[in-house]
Amino acid sequence: MSLESTYTTFRCNDTIVVLHQHGHGVPQALFTFREPQRMAIHDKKLIAFYPYSAEAVTLLDDPMHDAAEVFNTIARHLKTQSKAIMKRRMKSLALFVSGALIASSLWLLGTDNHFSLNVGNQTLTIPAEPGAIAPARPRQTAAVQEPANPAAGNTVIQAAQAESDNMQNIMKESHKSLPASPSEALKTAPAAVTSTTSVKKEATEQSARQKMVEILKRSTDRGLFTIQLSTGHERTLYAFLDPTCAVCRSMEPAIEQLAQRYNVVVFPVSVVNDGGDAVEKIIPVLCEKDQTARAVAWSVLFRPDAGMLVPGQTTPPQVSSDCSASAQAVVAVNDTGFRTFGFSGTPTVLTDTGIRLATGMLTAPDKIDHFLKITDPMSPEQVDRFVSSLSIQE
């Protein structure tokens, strides 16, 4: 194994992703797995053990990669996360204890169950024990006698006034930093604070993707702008295709294969327009009466003999001028949407969550299934980071 190879990890919910970087190249996803109960290395293989399972799961069995180094990378990541969690818990516990002490002090200072004691030049406030509270004496009718020692009486009065002022100052200083009630002070503070800028950025990206998916779905339901290649499946793929695009032609068998497992919706565009007749090819397809006829006409465009006169083949009916004008407008709308969404080329295939699939994934439906399971619970920022780490041909 080259010494230039490095490994890194990051977590997404319960999934841990291991990245491999060779030299100064782009990090690539090596494998993903759920956090196990424990891991071990056996015969240069990285294996994991999960609770309630008697069998070990092999995570890495590749002589091109150092299982020990990968194991150490994962262990360091898990240890760092464990320390961070422990640190947050200790902070929460310290805040809980300090809040309880301050709240108790404020409650004590706000009650009359204490007395002052003069010691030298300092005045101490000592809480009275519950059992030491003197019972109420019957009211005397005689006049209250003044203290025998006026100086001692003045000292007591001054000490009481000083203690009262001290209590007021403490309450004023603590008022701004403390909650309104002791019950709120005892609440545990949040473990971490997310940056406002990060939250706004993630929310904006999530909103943009969601809005794009809503537009695509609404356009599909209307049936004016699309060609429905298949229906009846759980997930949907949206494909922006140009009939004059050479890559689209080479990927047409893969698109037909995906139509066996997903609802594939085609938005025909003329952004490539190789030969200048993309719109003329799309118009007859959009002028078909129903989606089934559109799907058949669309597949005919990608046949090797498309556009050629074959003996015995019936000539397609002429398209009315009204339908031709409507179809041209539809293609123009699709082209505008293509550019508005920021796409750069065809084929562009999106998931029903608004994530673009790399062209290299279109020939592997199993990879798409796995990709959807991993990215569905991710945030947009995590999805972008994960997608950029994949070594898949665009």
Dump strand ranges (E) for the chain: 5-12, 15-22, 28-34, 38-42, 45-49, 57-60, 114-119, 122-127, 227-228, 236-241, 263-268, 348-351, 356-357
Per-residue pLDDT of 300-331, as tens digits, reads 998 876 655 555 556 666 888 899 999 999 99
What per-residue confidence (pLDDT) applies to 141? 44
Domain with CATH 3.40.30.10 in the chain: 198-307+317-389
Q: How confident is the model at residue 173, as a pLDDT? A: 56
pLDDT of residue 162: 64
pLDDT attached to residue 265: 97
| C-alpha–C-alpha distance, residues 21 and 240, integer Å | 33
Look at residue 305 in the predicted model and tell me its pLDDT. 66
User: What angle do helix axes 67-109 and 150-175 make, rounded to 10 degrees?
Assistant: 140
Query: In whole angstroms, what separates CA 354 from the centre of its chain?
Result: 14
What is the rounded distance in angstroms from the CA atom of residue 181 to the CA atom of residue 201?
35
pLDDT value, residue 350: 96
φ/ψ (deg, to 5) at 135: -65, 155
Expressed in percent and rounded to 5, the helix, strand and coil fractions of the chain are 45, 20, 35
End-to-end CA distance of the chain: 28
Confidence at residue 63, expressed as pLDDT on a 0 to 100 scale: 85
Tell me which residues of the chain have a pLDDT lower than 70.
1-3, 110-206, 305-317, 390-394
Look up residue 50 and give its DSSP letter. -
pTM: 0.51
Determine the CATH number of domain 198-307+317-389.
3.40.30.10
